[in-house]
Structure formats: structure tokens, C-alpha cells
Amino acid sequence: MDNGQRGVRLITSFVAIAIAVAVVWVALTTAWMWRYQERVVFQPPAAYPDAPAPARRVEFKASDGHQLFGYVVSAPKTGPADAGTPGELRAVVIAFHGNADLAAWQIAWSQELADRSGATVFVPEYRGYAGIPGTPTYQSAAADARGALEFVRKEFPSSDVVLYGHSLGTAIATELAGHMRPQAPKALVLMSPFTSAREMAARMLVPPIPWIWQRVSRVHYDTRQLAAQLESPVFVAHGNRDLNIPVRMGREVFAAARNPGELLIVEGAGHNDVPDAGGERYWRWLVAAVGSGVGVAK
């Protein structure tokens, strides 16, 4: 056997080994993604903290009957201008937190928003979080969100509803907004949103992950696509140094919105510190978003 033939055989063997490794890698990745995708998307902290005053803990049920709880935070009472007084401009903000967060940790933010805007803020907890039994999934999160909306409609029947979300909560809030059609929320407010679950999977891993994701995914979030269909004004805030969800995704969601509200890019902010880094700019953006399109209570 001459050197040329030997070289061809070596190359052929190398290519065959490379193909075999690639096939095994794809098979193992597919199996891993199919089995553990919910653990990547939902990461409940081990802590079970109680929310500080003045939050009011309330019990409610998901649309599938699962027992849940959340916290209601209201603006200070000021006599005749209290929330719920007929004829005044007030809203209820349903705030959905991120995948490794807790409702109890949102109380200080909720109180600041309530004080500044006069809105009531409801922060629901997801099953599997803060000691609530159950395992969080794409379907269960949607059922939990619909239950939160039903609670707000019963508890505050004359108030306008604004949906707010951070990180994973932006996808949950956006899907709930789509579910509310034709009775859309008065505004959809998103902090650090991602475009779609498929694009996040492609970013975290490597090709051919997008192709695999389409076939094995049980998580179907597509915030950009839904934003393009919603009548509600869409407001987006994003830190330009977000290492978890790149700022380009926030820009793309806002650019796709059928009814764009206001885009706030906070210089120097990462994934979780947009309110702190944005300061007064952030709060002006948020109060304007909550007040956008809010009508007189009937």
C-alpha cells in the first residue's frame, strides 16, 4: 500500500469517527434536552421567605385548580382618592417574576411602583416555588398566570389590568396577554425579555440545537411573535450589559411590537439591576407604562 492510499484511509477513518462522535453528541443532547428542559427554564430557589409588610398575602387557584398564593401591595390610602373609588384613574399591575426569583423578593419594588403610580400591584407565585407543591412547566405556568388574572378580575373588578414581567416572567406575561384577546391588557411591560425559547436555546448551546429544539421542546415561548399581534402598547426595558439575555433581544421584541410604547436601554445595567442602574429614568418609564391607556374605572 503506497503512502497515498494510506493517507486516504486515514482521512476516511477520521471523517467516520468525527461523524460517529457528532451523531452520538446529537443523540445525547437531544435526550438531555427532552428530559431536563424544564429544569433549565424553571429554577426555584430553595428559600421560602415571608414577604415583609405591607404586602398582603392572598390565596388563589390556577386555572387548573392548583392552590397558589401571591402578594398584593397597594398605594397608601389618601382618603377619597383611594384605589377603587369610582371615576379615578387606577390600575392593577400583575407582576410575573423571573425563573430563579420569588414573589416575596418583589415587595420593595412593588411598593415603590404603588407609591409612585397609585396602582395596586399583585405578585403571584408559581407552583414549585416558595414551598407550593407541584413541578413548574410551560403548561403549569400558563395555568398559574390565568389563575392570577382571574383573581385580579374578581378582587378588583373595576380596575384596568397591566401585565408586567421580568426575564422568564416576560414570556409568561406576554402569553397571558395573548390569552386575554380580545380583552387585551391596558399595557404589556417587559423588563429584560427574550425573543423566543428557541433562540435562547440556540444561544446557550451550539448547532444543531435550533433544529433539535423544534422537535423536542415542550416550552413554546415566542414573545417577539406575540408582541407583533397584540393591540396593547408594549414597553421594553433592557440593560445593555445583560449577559443572560442580550440587549438585542429586547430591541427585537420592541421593534416587532404592533403597538410600541417606549424602549428604555439602561447603560451599564445587567440582567437584574435595571431598576437600580436606571434610577429615575427607569421609574419614569415604568410609571408612564403603567399609566398608558388606563381609563376611568367603570
- Low pLDDT (below 50) residues in the chain: 78-89, 296-298
Residues 6+ apart with CB under 8 A from 6: none
Helix (H) or strand (E) holding 204: helix 197-204
**Whose CA is closest to 63, among 157, 127, 135?**
127
Query: How high is the pLDDT of residue 83?
Result: 42
Q: φ, ψ for residue 190 (rounded to 5)?
A: -125, 125
With a CB cutoff of 8 Å and minimum separation 6, the contacts of 17 are: none
Buried b (16+ CB within 10 A) or exposed e, 156-195: beebbbbbbbbbbbbbbbbbbbbebeeebbbbbbbbbbbb
What domains does the chain contain, in order, with CATH numbers?
Answer: 42-291 (3.40.50.1820)
Dihedral of the alpha carbons of 52, 53, 55, 57, in degrees to the nearest 10? 70
| 190, three cell numbers | 417587559
